[in-house]
Amino acid sequence: MAESTNGINTGDCIKGMNKLPEGSIDLVFADPPFNIGYKYDAYDDRREVDDYLDWSKQWMAAVHRVLKPDGTFWLAIGDEFAAELKVTCTRELGFHCRSWVIWFYTFGVHCTHKFTRSHAHIFQFVKDPKKFTFNSMDIRVPSARQLVYGDRRAVDGGRVPDDTWMIAPVLPPDVPTKDGFVLRPQDIAERFPADSDTWYFSRVAGTFKERQGFHGCQMPEQLLGRIIRASSNEGDVVLDPFGGSGTTLAVAKKLGRQFKGFELSKDYAAMIRKRLNAINVGDPLDGPENPVENSPKTSSGRRLKDISERKKPGRPRKKRDDSDEGGLFNVA
């Protein structure tokens, strides 16, 4: 397997990364299989726990080796192994955790015996806690001093986002609630400020324009855009060990970065190459930059009871299993 920059390489990411020069990568984003039984075409997502953790340690150790001394490693992972992989990174591999982001998404996995899953964990790890790339000016947001108080002490360009989301103390009258809980949080702009460590980006559903179609696990381009802008500069090399639908590489190309990826599936790799060939440096990222502003409001939609009054009786819908098993997407 010949590794190439600005392309996707077909094959095992551990072998591929171990062939790369040590300290040659500026930024790694990884959205590995979550070991929850997702059906890939070239990977078994039902490993024994110890086997999965050992495999995870191997590929993350390879990430540590290829990162530059001031490089950054972002890891997206589900609830099942978030704690174990964080401990492995910080206690065993020598990474330092700078941020623990919670990604809240709509169109989550509906469950019947647990609260519906609507989030994933995204860790920001660095090798050197005092020397790493973090372009705060590229991701800053207006501060309350600027927007609300007109305070002259406000810093030009805004401030670095918080890592905790806020809940609006007063709700608009058209926001539906039940027992005090907001049914659709995206109805409240203040609930999802861009300046926090809980990020709201809708999951890339099947009807979305940016959906690639060949891979069921696809991350939003705007989410990757925030990470790549913050943790790399134009011309830097971005690596994704798990190519998946190719979103990391596509966003890196659009933002003027060099990019490299690995993908075990030959079919997925071919589709990634097709996707990359269809875009150019400088192309806008797909999807809304501020999903809250683009989300349809509940007050402007049709109520279910209104639809049911007009709908003619038909055959009963087939009952389906709404358990969480194997339902979470997990590859960029």
Output the tens digit of pLDDT for each of the chain's 332 residues.
445 578 899 999 999 999 999 999 999 999 998 888 777 777 787 899 999 999 999 999 999 999 999 999 999 998 899 999 999 999 999 999 999 988 877 655 666 677 767 778 999 999 999 999 999 888 776 665 665 557 777 777 776 654 433 334 456 666 655 444 454 555 666 566 666 666 666 655 555 555 554 444 668 888 899 899 999 999 999 999 999 889 999 999 999 999 999 999 999 899 999 999 999 999 999 876 665 555 566 565 654 444 344 444 555 544 433 334 333 433 34
The reply to whether 180 falls in a domain is no
Domain hosting 221: range is: 7-135+188-296
The pLDDT, as a whole number, for residue 261 is 96
* DSSP H helix total and E strand total for the chain: 10, 10
| Cross-strand partners of 98 | none
User: Residue 283's pLDDT is what?
Assistant: 95
Q: Give the 3-state secondary structure of residue 120.
A: strand
Residue 85 lies in a domain: yes
Among residues 332, 324, 260, the alpha carbon closest in space to that of 118 is found at: 324
- Residue 129: what pLDDT? 94
As a residue count, the chain comes to 332
| Residue 237 near residue 5 (C-beta atoms within 8 A) | yes
Q: What distance in Å separates the CA atoms of residue 317 and residue 245, rounded to the nearest whole number?
A: 32
**pLDDT score, position 203:** 57
Predicted local distance difference test score (pLDDT) of residue 214: 46
**Residue 120 resides in a domain:** yes
Q: Tokens 């609507």, residue? A: 118
Residue 260 lies in a domain: yes
- Is 275 within the bounds of a domain? yes
- DSSP E strand boundaries for 110-204: 117-126, 177-178, 181-182, 198-200
Are 123 and 86 in contact by the 8 Å Cβ rule? The answer is: yes
In a domain, 196, yes or no: yes
Residue 54 has φ and ψ, to the nearest 5°, of -65, -45
pLDDT at 331: 39
pLDDT computed for residue 175 by the predictor: 65
The continuous run of DSSP H or E covering 13 comes out as helix 13-19
- Predicted confidence at residue 164, as pLDDT, reads 33
Q: Which helix (H) or strand (E) covers residue 230, if one does? A: helix 221-231
> Is residue 242 domain-resident?
yes
Provide the sign of the torsion angle of the four alpha carbons 303, 112, 106, 174, taken in this order. positive
**Per DSSP, what are the bridge partners of residue 200?**
104
Q: How many domains does the chain have?
A: 1
CATH number at residue 112: 3.40.50.150
Residue 314 lies in a domain: no
